[in-house]
C-alpha cells in the first residue's frame, strides 16, 4: 500500500509492506527498507569504535542532534548510554520509528529502548530543553559525495535531506554558547569544515574523524 507520494520529494514514495516501510525512488528505480537488525554487526564491534574511545564511560546522557537512520545512536546506546535522538526530516523519522517497531533481535530492542526520538530541528530542542547532556553529537551530511560506492541509505539521505553548511555552522556556534556539555562533531577525513572551532582533540578513523569540543556556557 502506498502511504504517501510526497509532494516535497518528487518521485519518492513511502510504501507499507509486511517487513515495514519501504522508500522508493522512481528516478533510479531504487528501493530501501530500513532494517535495524542489520546493525548487529557494527554493534558487536562497538568497543573498538572511535566513539567508545572518546566517551570513556557509560550511562551518559547523549543528545544526538542529527539522528538520521540512527546507526551512530545505536553504537552510542550499545555502549550503555541513554540517547535523545533529534531528526528534522519527517520522512527519515517515519522510516526510523517504523523500523524500531520491526526490530526482531532482543539485544537490539534493548539498545533501541535507550533511544528516545524527537522530530524537529536540534537547535530548537537545545533552546527549549532544561536537560543537561554529557555529550552532544553532530553528524551533518558530508559536503560532497566522497564515497565512491555510497550505500543505499546514504543515497536516500542525499536525495531527501537538504544540507546547508552555513546553517550547520550557525547551529554549532549557538550550541557552543548555550551548553557546557562536551560536543562531538563527525566529519569526513578529508574535509576541514570545522577548523575555526576550538577543537580539544580529533580522533581519526579510515574515512571519518571525530572532533571533541567543550560547550562554553556554565549551565
Ligand atoms: C548524515 S545524517 C546522520 C546519520 C546518522 N548519524 C546515522 O548514524 O545514521 C544527517 C541527518 O541529520 C538530519 N539533520 C540535519 N540537520 C538537522 C538539524 N538541524 N536538526 C535535526 N536534524 C538534522 C538530517 O535530516 C539527516 O537525517
CA of 141 to the centre of ligand 1 (A): 7
- pLDDT tens string 19-46: 999 999 999 899 999 999 999 999 999 9
Q: Which of 128, 134, 7 is nearest to 64 (CA)?
A: 134
CA of 89 to the centre of ligand 1 (A): 8
Q: How far is the CA of 60 from the CAs of 35, 76, 84, 197, in angstroms?
A: 26, 9, 11, 24
Q: Residue 10's pLDDT band (boundaries 50, 70, 90)?
A: confident
- Ligand 1: residues whose CB is within 6 Å? 65-66, 68-72, 86-89, 92, 121-123, 139-141, 157, 161, 171
What global pTM score does this model have?
A: 0.95
Tell the residue number behind the cell numbers 534493548, with chain if given: 110
- pLDDT tens string 124-177: 999 999 999 999 999 999 876 566 667 888 999 998 998 999 999 999 999 999
> Cα separation of 115 and 68, whole Å?
13
- Domain map (residue ranges) of the chain: 34-214
Task: Say what percent of the chain tops pLDDT 90.
Answer: 83
In terms of Cβ atoms closer than 10 Å to its own Cβ (0-12, 13-18, 19+), residue 212 is middle
Atom 23 (ligand 1): residue with closest C-alpha? 66
| Pick among 3.40.50.300, 1.10.1270.20, 3.40.50.2300, 3.40.50.150: CATH of 34-214 | 3.40.50.150
Q: Residue 61's pLDDT band (boundaries 50, 70, 90)?
A: very high
Atom 19 (ligand 1): residue with closest C-alpha? 121
Amino acid at each position: 500500500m502506498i502511504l504517501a507520494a510526497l509532494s516535497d520529494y518528487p518521485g519518492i514514495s513511502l510504501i507499507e509492506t509486511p517487513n515495514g516501510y519501504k522508500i522508493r525512488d522512481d528516478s533510479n528505480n531504487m528501493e530501501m527498507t530500513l532494517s535495524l537488525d542489520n546493525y548487529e554487526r557494527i554493534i558487536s564491534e562497538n568497543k573498538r569504535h572511535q566513539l567508545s574511545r572518546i566517551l570513556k564511560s557509560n550511562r551518559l546522557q547523549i543528545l544526538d542532534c542529527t539522528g538520521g537512520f540512527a546507526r551512530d545512536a545505536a553504537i552510542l546506546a550499545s555502549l550503555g548510554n541513554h540517547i535523545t535522538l533529534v531528526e528534522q526530516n519527517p520522512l527519515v523519522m517515519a522510516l526510523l520509528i517504523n523500523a524500531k517497531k520491526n526490530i526482531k533481535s532482543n539485544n537490539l530492542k534493548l539498545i533501541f529502548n535507550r533511544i528516545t526520538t524527537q522530530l524537529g530541528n536540534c537547535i530548537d530542542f537545545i533552546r527549549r530543553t532544561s536537560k543537561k547532556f554529557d555529550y552532544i553529537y553532530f553528524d551533518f551530511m558530508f559536503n560532497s559525495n566522497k564515497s565512491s560506492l555510497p550505500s543505499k541509505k546514504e543515497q536516500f539521505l542525499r536525495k531527501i535531506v537538504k544540507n546547508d553548511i552555513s546553517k550547520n555552522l550557525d547551529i554549532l556556534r549557538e550550541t557552543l554558547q548555550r551548553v557546557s556539555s562536551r560536543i562531538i562533531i563527525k566529519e569526513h577525513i578529508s574535509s576541514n569544515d570545522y577548523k575555526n572551532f576550538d577543537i580539544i582533540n580529533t580522533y581519526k578513523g579510515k574515512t571519518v574523524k571525530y572532533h571533541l569540543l567543550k560547550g562554553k556556557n556554565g549551565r
